[in-house]
Structure 1
Amino acid sequence: MASILDSVDQRTQLVGENRLEILLFRLSGRQLFAINVFKVQEVLQMPRLNRMPHRHPCVCGVVNLRGQTLPVIDLAKAIGMRPLQSEASTIIVTEYNRSVQAFLVSSVERIFNLNWEAVQPPPSGAGRQHYLTSITKVDDQLVEIIDVEKVLAEIVPYNAQVSSELLADPIFKKAAGREVLIVDDSGVALAQLSETLSQLNLTIHTASDGLKGLQKLQQWADAGEVLTDKLLMVFTDAEMPEMDGYRLTAEIRQDPRLRDLYVVLHTSLSGNFNEAMVKKVGCDNFLSKFQPDRLVDVIRDRLLRD
């Protein structure tokens, strides 16, 4: 099954085209779930599982994979479904927010290529909405795209506190009252960024996908506001329904009223991959999630240029 990802390097051409590829899998029953292929390192039969005392209830144990010890998370249990532990042996090894972990699943189906415009936010009242970033359809079957950042945040709670040494820098007096726009489809990511940036007394605007973010910017511009005066910067996730962060950045650069905005790609996707793509679409900076001090360093650099 590891060969399912052999051609992943060829897929970088999707970036900037508002397209993505998702890995389809099942947990229990017939419902299809998915995550972005670019967050997947490999798919394989689970090696020998080592149980750990005092582990989180959703962590089955750890496996040793080529000298690296990885936690194995029962993804079904983590999103409120019946645990899979005794009836599944397939794991998806992923990298999120600079950490590598494995998710236990029932079976892996295939990789599917689609347009972000075909991906929608989950409907209100959906049973697992709490753990979904979006939904789509494949062959007329509903696919639920999991908010892995939320799953991981519940297992290892995040810390949004900025070090006191950084906050003591007098340059941050210039940040008070300035405005930023955060564009991200993950409620956890929005909370992380907002909690950190509020320590600098910044005024924070949010949008839950790239299209909503672009519309907000256009509305401000239509109202006669000078966006480079209004906003210190824009933070955008990479993968979002309707319009991804790469396309959002490209749209910003094509609009004369927006093109000089300072745009930071803030994403849980692979650092090496994104550093190359930042240049392709025209972002000003790249930041892996979630690093409070590094985030504040990016703000500091921007204030020094202002």
Structure 2
Amino acid sequence: MAGVLDSVNQRTQLVGQNRLELLLFRLGGEQLYGINVFKVKEVLQCPALNEIPKRNPVVCGVAHIRGGTISIMDMNQAIGRRPLPDVENCFVIITEYNRTTQGFLVRSVERIVNMNWEDIHPPPKGAGKENYLTAVTEVEGKLVEIIDVEKILAEVSPLPEEISEGVFEDGIAERVVQKHVLIVDDSTIARKQIQRVVESMGIKTTLKKDGREAYEYLAGLVEDGVDPYAELVLVISDIEMPEMDGYTFTAEVRNHPGLKDLHIILHTSLSGVFNEAMVKKVGANDFLAKFNPDELARRVNDRVLEMTGESVLEEDEGEE
């Protein structure tokens, strides 16, 4: 496995083409799972683990890796199954999600495959609301399940979701009482986190689970003669999504004459220096790393002020 991720830094050209690369791995059985290569920092044989007191049962322990201390979670146990046996012969996938680094214990790591987001599909409806999948795909006739890592992290180490006092202005919702925020994310947990932040500001929300569903919704508004600018405050979209990713979704919106000026924030757990360049390339208005409720609320607040001209008025009054 030493060289499996050697060329990760050269793979950014796939971004913006509705493509991704999946690192395939296995847990307790023959089922294949996948994780976006852009979330992966390193793959290594399971190092020596140190137990920590009062740890979550899913956390196997902590490991000292490259000068840092990282929590290692048993992914098989995290999705409701038995702990992986023979830990010393397992592998650890070091990932970066939501501004933190963590490791996931897996049975084996297979290879990297190049995929198109159009071939990545939402979980079957019969999978139930409590499943740990964000998507499924097929590789060489075999089903690959893509796990909702954000759901695992929210259960093991919940992030604060309360907005600090004074982050948004009093009465901000009254300025956009007839409008709503469109939230686009394939993770049920992420959608709910964003929804709670926006609705705690008093602003209504509409939720869509991927870029294609969101784009069809927006295009449908135009076809029905509804002015999307009269309907929406802004769009908050994830990047990693089945069917159509956030970059492609943004580019499609910008190419639609009736939608091209919508305010879009790309809100994602993806990390990397390519993000800023890609935001500019596809024409998004802003980029925000997941998940900080204060930062998210501040962006929504600022957008409302920009729409209503309040910020301009306040600056003019200050100059007087």
Question: What TM-score do you get using the length of structure 1 for normalisation?
Answer: 0.96
- Aligned-pair distance for 1:175? 4.2
CA distance in 1, matches of 2:64, 2:303: 42
Amino acid at match of 1:293: D
- Determine helix, strand or coil for the equivalent of 1:166: coil
CA distance in 2, matches of 1:3, 1:199: 47
Amino acid at match of 1:282: G
- Aligned-pair distance for 1:300? 2.1
CA distance in 1, matches of 2:256, 2:278: 20
- Determine helix, strand or coil for the equivalent of 1:29: coil
Larger radius of gyration between Structure 1 and Structure 2: 2
Is 1:10 matched up with 2:17?
A: no
Is 1:262 matched up with 2:263?
A: yes
CA distance in 2, matches of 1:277, 1:75: 31
- Determine helix, strand or coil for the equivalent of 1:130: coil
CA distance in 2, matches of 1:305, 1:185: 28
- Aligned-pair distance for 1:99? 0.4
Query: 1:69 aligns to what?
Result: 69
CA distance in 2, matches of 1:74, 1:121: 24
Query: 2:95 aligns to what?
Result: 94
Q: Runs of 4+ in structure 1 displaced over 2 angstroms?
A: 85-89, 124-129, 167-178
- Aligned-pair distance for 1:303? 2.0
CA distance in 2, matches of 1:229, 1:127: 35
- Aligned-pair distance for 1:171? 4.7
Query: 2:43 aligns to what?
Result: 43
CA contact (8 A) 1:271 1:288 kept: no
Amino acid at match of 2:152: V
- Aligned-pair distance for 1:159? 2.1
- Aligned-pair distance for 1:170? 5.3
CA contact (8 A) 2:76 2:82 kept: yes
CA distance in 2, matches of 1:152, 1:226: 38
Q: Pick closer, same or farther for the CA change 1:303–1:52 going to 2, 3 Å.
A: same
Question: Which deviates further from its counterpart, 209-218 or 42-51?
Answer: 42-51
CA distance in 2, matches of 1:75, 1:223: 45
- Aligned-pair distance for 1:226? 1.5
CA distance in 1, matches of 2:130, 2:225: 37
- Aligned-pair distance for 1:127? 7.6
CA distance in 1, matches of 2:112, 2:44: 15
Q: Pick closer, same or farther for the CA change 1:218–1:256 going to 2, 3 Å.
A: same
CA distance in 2, matches of 1:101, 1:85: 20
Q: Deviations over 1:84-141 (max 9, x none)?
A: 1534421000000000000000010000111111111111233896100010011100
Question: Which deviates further from its counterpart, 83-92 or 276-285?
Answer: 83-92
CA distance in 2, matches of 1:40, 1:16: 19
- Aligned-pair distance for 1:277? 1.3
Question: Which deviates further from its counterpart, 144-153 or 129-138?
Answer: 129-138
Report matched runs for 1:147-296 at 5 Å.
147-169=148-170, 171=172, 173-270=174-271, 272-296=273-297
Gaps of 5+ in 2: 308-320
CA distance in 2, matches of 1:49, 1:273: 33
CA distance in 1, matches of 2:116, 2:9: 19
Gaps of 5+ in 1: none
CA contact (8 A) 2:168 2:301 kept: no
- Aligned-pair distance for 1:287? 0.7
Query: 1:23 aligns to what?
Result: 23
Question: What TM-score do you get using the length of structure 2 for normalisation?
Answer: 0.92
CA distance in 2, matches of 1:8, 1:81: 31
CA RMSD of aligned residues (A): 1.6
Q: Pick closer, same or farther for the CA change 1:13–1:129 going to 2, 3 Å.
A: farther
CA contact (8 A) 2:43 2:94 kept: yes
CA distance in 1, matches of 2:4, 2:238: 26
Q: Pick closer, same or farther for the CA change 1:229–1:2 going to 2, 3 Å.
A: farther
Question: Which deviates further from its counterpart, 49-58 or 265-274?
Answer: 265-274
Q: Pick closer, same or farther for the CA change 1:80–1:171 going to 2, 3 Å.
A: closer
Query: 1:108 aligns to what?
Result: 109
